[in-house]
């Protein structure tokens, strides 16, 4: 079995469409406007397109150097595997991940997930699905159907594998 952080990185890049950037939580660069996106792109340019621990720490300033290095390593490899190649695409993707995970701090949604209970649009059709399938991972995959589809992309039954949900 893959290490958890590697699994979550692969899940994120294989299942996610690059979305518009939003403001990072935790004091990182402002990502709500194009200037924040281009700031990340410039940092990537200086690093020759490589995801570095310095870049991850700019997006998640509360991370330890060791944690930032680990995240940088797995995201760099996962984005290469997924074909996210241009600096602007990498910047948009990193901005979204930083936003969703509170600067790479939260691997599980802070809220209980109860608000997702009964949400058929998320595939939450069974009692307890809202809490069971709340947002997790860098991208905060949410809902039974999204867990199922993400697991299919990875060749895993994530809906039936609760251990993956308890991130570091």
Burial of residue 39 (number of CB atoms within 10 Å: 0-12, 13-18, 19+): middle
Catalytic residue from among 41, 66, 70, 100: 100
For residue 136, give the 3-state DSSP assignment: strand
Q: SS3 string of 17-52?
A: CCCCCCCCCCCCCCCCCHHHHHHHHHHHHHCCCCCC
117 has catalytic annotation: no
State how far the Cα of 101 lies from the Cα of 93, in Å rounded to an integer: 12
| 145 in Cβ contact with 160 (< 8 Å) | no
Catalytic residue set: 100
């Amino acid at each position: 079995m893959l290490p958890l952080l590697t699994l979550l990185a692969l899940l994120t890049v294989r299942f996610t469409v690059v979305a518009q950037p939003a403001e990072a939580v935790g004091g990182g660069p402002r990502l709500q406007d194009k200037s924040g996106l281009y700031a990340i792109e410039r940092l990537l340019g200086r690093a020759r397109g490589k995801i570095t621990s310095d870049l991850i720490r700019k997006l998640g300033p509360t991370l330890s150097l060791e944690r930032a290095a680990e995240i940088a390593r797995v995201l760099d490899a996962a984005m290469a595997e997924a074909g996210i190649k241009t600096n602007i695409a990498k910047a948009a993707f990193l901005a979204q991940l930083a936003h969703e995970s509170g600067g790479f701090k939260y691997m599980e949604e802070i809220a209980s997930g109860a608000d997702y209970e009964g949400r058929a649009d998320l595939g939450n059709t069974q009692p307890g699905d809202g809490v069971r399938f709340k947002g997790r991972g860098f991208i905060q995959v949410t809902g039974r159907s999204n867990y199922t589809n993400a697991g299919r992309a990875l060749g895993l039954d994530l809906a039936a594998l609760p251990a993956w949900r308890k991130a570091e």
